[in-house]
């Protein structure tokens, strides 16, 4: 009897072990089928900078690796972003208009800015889908505990919390005087030296060094090295990963690394373009070396159009306007995506895609979940990117500059209620008694509003207007989070 019982127990143990093995194998196979995602997000990088977008040697620095990448994948001519750094990054991370998250504008007076813990971010979504996640570079979505990248879904981070112009502060005598005064009195606590930080999920952030001019020059080199190390580690672990690389170039001051200083012979801008191209090439080579390039989605894009500061201004190709405006030079940025054997090689499209579409698209591809308890503005454009559809599915979007609606874009038409004079975001704001309408095929530089030249074509408004009406309805149904809202935050409708 005892022998029979032992035999039965042994049999059940074998069956249980076999079942666990099958389950573990199934999980491993599912993870192996998920593509890795590498997302490069340049800072204030104009539409016309790369060779494949009309720049490169025309701008003083060849970009052969990125141009080759474009030939191996799909290049979009109408990829759109929000008009400022913080809003752009908020939209990318949440799949929502930045106005909804309380981050519609670059923080100028609210120190406790950034994403509330209630927001469900891209790295959180991918982490829940089984991905390792890392971010190396500029965050600009929070500078306090609870608001850092490792509080918002990233497993690890190395970079800066805010903006690169802060690297100019330490060398200023008046800044040092008032920074010491602020430390002594406790007043004006944000007048302080910024640092480069490192962090792991579940642990406090650690300051590595002051973010000054020497650090500014080398941070993208360091970011690239961290990224290469992460790729190698995850390739060995056999786990799918999401690598987010928000580089600091070409935000002012756009100073090259010592490694690339003088390399182009055409000044800082040419040097920086060669640097960006080389770092991108290193990442591509690292994927090849680790034999995971074929199962990796590789994206090169930017958060905004080119700078508006004289001496640091970028080039937006055929478009007018800099970032901080509602013009195409602010909204359109380069977008290249490669996924060998999946994304059609060499394809070029003028279909509209918005940066918040990446959230829903990644969810579709990676098996992630899109929240159902809030408004999500992104749509799934995976069929379009994978060549299964010629249309993206997006007809247009509302154009924000800061927290203000400046207009609407629909297909190749545009309606603007407000415009800044000149090509820069520092111009005088003009509010029109009647909207200005543009046909972007006929007038790419937005020079001749329909109200002045082609009044008989105001039928445009019946394509443009409904987009704004639907958007305003959604804001009424789900009021935006107020800037500076602290955690914990729960929407009023969920708190009843």
Catalytic annotation, residues: 85, 140
> What are 299's strand-pairing partners?
39, 337
Q: What element of type H or E holds 224?
A: helix 213-237
Query: Rounded to 10 degrees, what is the CA torsion of 63, 64, 68, 69?
Result: -40
> What is the DSSP-derived secondary structure letter of residue 457?
G
* 318/485 Cα distance (integer angstroms): 39
* 55/370 Cα distance (integer angstroms): 37
* 417/363 Cα distance (integer angstroms): 34
Cis peptide before 100 (omega within 30 of 0): no
Query: Taking Cα atoms as reference points, which of 394, 391, 415, 395 lies closest to residue 405?
Result: 415
Query: Taking Cα atoms as reference points, which of 377, 369, 368 lies closest to residue 400?
Result: 377
**Paired tokens of 279:** 């770092």
**Paired tokens of 76:** 């979009």
> What SS3 class is residue 327?
coil
What are phi and psi for residue 156, nearest 5 degrees?
Answer: -150, 155
* 348/43 Cα distance (integer angstroms): 23
> What is the DSSP-derived secondary structure letter of residue 332?
B
Instruction: For strands 347-349 and 79-80, give the pairing.
Output: unpaired
Q: Where are the beta strands (DSSP E) in 312-428?
A: 335-338, 347-349, 353-354, 396-401, 404-410, 413-420
**Paired tokens of 375:** 């408004």
Query: Taking Cα atoms as reference points, which of 32, 446, 23, 473 lies closest to residue 239?
Result: 32
Q: Where are the beta strands (DSSP E) in 228-324?
A: 241-245, 296-302
């Amino acid at each position: 009897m005892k022998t029979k019982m032992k035999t039965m127990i042994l049999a059940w143990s074998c069956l249980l072990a076999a079942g666990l093995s099958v389950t573990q194998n199934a999980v491993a196979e599912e993870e192996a089928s998920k593509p890795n995602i590498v997302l490069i997000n340049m800072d204030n990088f104009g539409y016309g900078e790369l060779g494949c977008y009309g720049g490169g040697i025309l701008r003083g620095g060849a970009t052969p690796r990125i141009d080759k990448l474009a030939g191996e994948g799909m290049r979009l001519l109408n990829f759109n972003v929000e008009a400022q750094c913080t809003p752009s990054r908020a939209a990318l991370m949440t799949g929502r208009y930045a106005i909804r998250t309380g981050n519609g504008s670059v923080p100028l007076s609210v120190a406790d800015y950034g994403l509330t813990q209630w927001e469900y971010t891209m790295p959180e979504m991918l982490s829940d889908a089984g991905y390792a996640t890392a971010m190396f570079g500029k965050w600009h979505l929070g500078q306090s505990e609870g608001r850092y990248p490792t509080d918002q879904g990233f497993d690890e981070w190395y970079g800066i919390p805010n903006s690169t112009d802060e690297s100019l502060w330490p060398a200023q005598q008046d800044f040092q005087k008032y920074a010491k005064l602020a430390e002594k009195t406790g007043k004006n606590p944000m007048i302080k030296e910024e640092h480069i930080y490192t962090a792991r999920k579940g642990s406090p952030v650690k300051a590595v060094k002051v973010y000054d001019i020497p650090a500014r020059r080398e941070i993208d080199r360091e970011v690239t090295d961290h990224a290469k190390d992460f790729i190698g580690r995850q390739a060995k672990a056999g786990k799918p990963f999401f690598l987010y690389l928000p580089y600091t170039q070409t935000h002012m001051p756009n100073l090259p690394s010592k490694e690339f200083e003088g390399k182009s012979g055409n000044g800082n801008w040419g040097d920086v373009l060669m640097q960006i191209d080389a770092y991108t090439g290193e990442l591509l080579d690292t994927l090849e070396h680790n034999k995971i390039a074929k199962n990796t989605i590789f994206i090169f894009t930017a958060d905004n159009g080119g700078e508006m500061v004289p001496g640091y201004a970028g080039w937006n190709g055929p478009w007018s306007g800099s970032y901080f405006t509602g013009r195409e030079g602010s909204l359109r940025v380069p977008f290249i995506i490669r996924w060998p054997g999946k994304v059609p090689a060499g394809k070029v499209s003028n279909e509209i895609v918005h940066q918040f579409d990446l959230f829903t698209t990644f969810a579709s591809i990676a098996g992630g979940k899109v929240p159902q308890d809030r408004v999500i503005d992104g749509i799934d454009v995976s069929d379009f990117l994978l060549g299964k559809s010629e249309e993206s599915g997006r007809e247009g979007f509302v154009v924000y500059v800061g927290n203000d609606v400046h207009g609407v874009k629909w297909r190749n038409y545009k309606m603007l209620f407000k415009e800044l004079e000149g090509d820069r975001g520092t111009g005088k704001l003009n509010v029109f008694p009647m909207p200005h309408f543009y046909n972007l095929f006929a007038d790419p530089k937005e020079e001749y509003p329909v109200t002045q030249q082609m009044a008989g074509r105001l039928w445009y408004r019946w394509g443009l207007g409904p987009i704004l009406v639907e958007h305003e309805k959604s804001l009424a149904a789900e009021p935006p989070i107020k800037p500076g809202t602290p955690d914990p935050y729960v929407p009023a409708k969920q708190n009843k």
